[in-house]
Amino acid sequence: MTDLRSPDTRFRTSLLEENDGPAINASDNRTMGEIIAARFSRRGFLKGSLAVSAIAATVSPLALISADEARAAEGSAFTFDELEAGIDDKHHVAPGYDADVLLRWGDPLFADSPDFDPTKQSAEAQAKQFGYNNDYVGYIPIDGSAEHGLLVVNHEYTNPHLMFPGIVKIVQKDGKKSAEVAPLSKEQVDVEMAAHGGTIVEIRKTSGKWQVVRDGKLNRRITSNTEMALSGPVAGHDRVKTNADPSGTKVFGTFNNCAGGVTPWGTYVMAEENIHGYFSGELPEGHKEAANYKRLGIPEGAYEWAAHYERF
């Protein structure tokens, strides 16, 4: 059996998400790790295990030093028995707690959503089903209820080698086995694009268990093709005028949504990252956006969307 996690079988989209890559910020701006480290030193607003996890994620050396100081300053603030770190084939929860599956990739969200069939995927079906790879998850109460509200979820990225049966082939070369992924068809790329974005879905606790309300009037899927209005100073600016919208007042789609939040007034915020992985085109020499593309790492081309759509 070939270990698909070995260095010989790494997949482009997985590497994009796992690899921080070389620094490409040519400005004098501080990194996020340096900003967080300074805030820790100045205010100490987080303590214990949560502080360590939050600040270590930035991988800044200053941040890691501050994380160690936070760990030493105070132990865990959790009131339940923490689990030992480890990897196996089971989902572990703390004693006295349980965990249930509420939504999985492809689960229906609307009354007319088709059931998920991994062998017969389509963009039309995916646009009515729960998206792929969750990141930010938030809850917005309905009428202030702790048992009835909206679940808001980012769908950050897709792993085509796991999504589409039959596209991975194990090959042997120079005595080593590795995995090769066949080029994606336009239909498969369309499914990927529909699986990105976000989900807004009504949920309700019934008899102590959370349930999806499939006919919820606020249920919504946001995808890589959803039309969105631009507002504020950016609306109509020359830099957001495109062939698709010469007015510069709307954009189409959102993808690689990592961070997010729920505002005090009950709206859902999504934040993109790693957008460079979706673009493959080279700018002509002397183009006004050349410096910005270089700073963002464009083109990176981990995704194959540019093979089928000029916008990428």
Return the closest-CA partner of residue 192 out of 122, 114, 111: 122
CB atoms within 10 A of CB 295: 13
Return the closest-CA partner of residue 255 out of 21, 13, 72: 13
Given this model, what pLDDT does residue 48 score?
Answer: 47
Segment holding 261, helix H or strand E = strand 257-262
Tell me the sheet residues that pair with 177.
172
Tokens of 112: 């007319």
Q: What does the buried/exposed string (b/e) look like for 73-90 if buried means 16 or more CB atoms within 10 Å of the residue's CB?
A: eeeeeeeeeeeeeeeeee
| 165-171: long-range pairs with CB below 8 Å, 24+ | 165/118, 165/119, 168/4, 170/2
Given this model, what pLDDT does residue 54 score?
Answer: 53
Contact 186, 214 (CB under 8 A): no
pTM summary value: 0.78
Q: Which residues contact 27 (CB under 8 A, 6 or more apart)?
A: 295
Tell me the sheet residues that pair with 211.
204
Three-class DSSP category at 48: helix
Tokens of 272: 């993109």
Given this model, what pLDDT does residue 24 score?
Answer: 62
Measure the CA–CA gap between 64 and 155, rounded to whole angstroms. Answer: 29
Given this model, what pLDDT does residue 183 score?
Answer: 94
Averages of pLDDT over runs of 10 residues in the chain (312 residues) are 51 67 67 73 51 51 55 65 84 89 96 96 98 96 96 96 92 85 96 98 96 95 96 94 93 93 94 91 85 86 92 89
What does the DSSP assignment read for 140-206?
Answer: EESTT-SSEEEEEEEE----HHHHSTT-EEEEEETTEEEEEEPPPPHHHHHHHHHHSEEEEEEEEEE
